[in-house]
Amino acid sequence: MKDALGYYKVLEVDNLADAQTIKIKYRDLAKHWHPDSNKSENAMEHFQKLSVAYDVLKNEKTRLVYDLMSEIYGSSNFPDMNNLSILKDKFNNENPLVRVVNLQKVVGKIIKYTAEEDKLVCTYDQAKQEVLRYSLANWFLGWWHPKAFIRNIKAIIGNIKNIGNNNYDNLVLLVHNAIAYHQENKDNQAMLSAMQALNYADDYQQGLIKRFLEEINVPVYNKKIPQWRLGSLRLYQYIIPFLLLLAISYPFIQHYSMLQYMKKENKITYFQKVKYDSGAEFVDDVVVSKIYQIPVDVTDNSKLYHLSDNADIMYGPGKKFDVLKKGKKKQTVRVTGFTPDKSWYRIMIDNGEMGFVEKTYLKHGIGTEPPYGSKILPEPL
């Protein structure tokens, strides 16, 4: 039980004193401190304090408001309890379903950094946007200063922990708004704010809030008050790091998927192709090797590789075969198969021909941009 402005103390009674006790105590003290009979230097000041305190505590309604305000404010920040302004959301709209969200943001600026800690009044949808906005700032801008680096880690952890752990801030917001709405004769909103304040109050504070609800005398609210999904708000703070991790790991995932595909039994039989100096050629009926085949899908960029250096592209999987083409360093090709020991890979080149190169010459990803009309890419429109 708190007495923010010392009204109970100046009347020398406690918070549980009834109206008659307060009245008698005031009369006795007023007689003692009246300037006409008490010549002390502070008699007038003390007498005025008695009058102000009694004006508030003699009336059950104003006394209840004072008791509630004393639970959420101290003497240094106690507002004018007869003229409260409604605390609005981030777009300056009145909404009895608002909450306080505590968020920290760190921005490194190489030679200096800034750190902010804000208490935002917002709706649930606004809270999701703010959580993402602060998370985005911390994950992309919070590392660019030595001191900011450690501060930013603490801010990220603090933002996650603060969701659902700021009961006092929400009690202040909801009790304040309940009284402010009531003063403006918006008792339905006052009731909604007060009912939600019960979730953040201790036993004594709940007793005061329930008395306030009886005082405003509005019909019982039968609908379920929308609850904030605090778990979802915490998860929202993992979206940015998840996307960053996905972006970093995507090339490795693509490469891994290709290796997994290569493990499957997609085999074709490869026969030796014999080419004469005259230009004539024929296919021998001797099986030279088994080739694991990868179907050609020109829209699949994960099968695009490039040559790490100048290399001979052979007719078959071995150096004894004739050279099909001279491959150039950084030339982009499409992988279409490989030998069981993965020492040779079958590739498609820009004119659509297929040949073989040693594995050591292949690197994943596009090297030189393929020329217009290349067969390893979709046909241009």
Q: Which CATH number is 300's domain given?
A: 2.30.30.40
Same domain, 60 and 105: no
Burial of 75 (0-12, 13-18, 19+ CB in 10 A): exposed
CA distance 255 to 238: 26
Give percent of the chain above pLDDT 90: 69
143 shares a domain with 205? yes
Same domain, 56 and 192: no
Q: What is the number of domains present in the chain?
A: 3
Within this chain, do residues 124 and 181 fall inside the same structural domain, yes or no?
A: yes
Considering the domain architecture, whether residues 92 and 204 belong to the same structural domain is answered as yes
Query: What is d(CA 64, CA 355) in angstroms, rounded to the nearest whole number?
Result: 89
Per-residue model confidence (pLDDT) at position 250: 79
Residue 99 corresponds to which amino acid? R
Q: Is residue 378 part of a domain?
A: no
Q: Which two tokens stand for residue 140?
A: 């992309």
pLDDT value at residue 266: 47
**Is residue 100, in this structure, part of any structural domain at all?**
yes
Counting as low any pLDDT under 50, the low residues of the chain are 265-272, 274, 276, 282-288
Residue whose C-alpha is closest to residue 134's, from 166, 102, 108, 161:
102
The pLDDT of residue 373:
87
233 and 104 within one domain: yes
Q: Per-residue pLDDT tens for 262-302?
A: 555 444 444 445 454 555 554 444 444 578 888 889 889 99
Assigned domain for 247 exists: no
Compute φ and ψ for 309, nearest 5 degrees.
-160, 175
Same domain? For 59 and 124 the reply is: no
Q: Are residues 169 and 114 in the same domain?
A: yes
pLDDT given for residue 372 in this prediction: 86
pTM for this prediction: 0.66
Closest CA to 263 of 286, 292, 295: 292
Pair (138, 210) in one structural domain: yes
In which domain, by residue range, is 51 found? 7-72
C-alpha 45 chain-centroid distance: 53
Residue 380 maps to a domain: no
Do strands 354-358 and 362-364 pair parallel, antiparallel, or not at all (unpaired)?
A: unpaired
The answer to whether residues 299 and 201 belong to one domain is no
Q: Are residues 25 and 146 in the same domain?
A: no
**Does 1 fall in a domain?**
no
Q: What pLDDT does residue 379 have?
A: 83
The answer to whether residues 68 and 196 belong to one domain is no
CB atoms within 10 A of CB 333: 28
SS3 342: coil
Does residue 253 lie within any of the structural domains?
no
d(CA 58, CA 45): 20
Residue 237 burial (CB < 10 Å; 0-12/13-18/19+)? buried
CATH of the domain at 67: 1.10.287.110
Q: Assess if residue 326 is contained within a domain.
A: yes
311 in a structural domain: yes
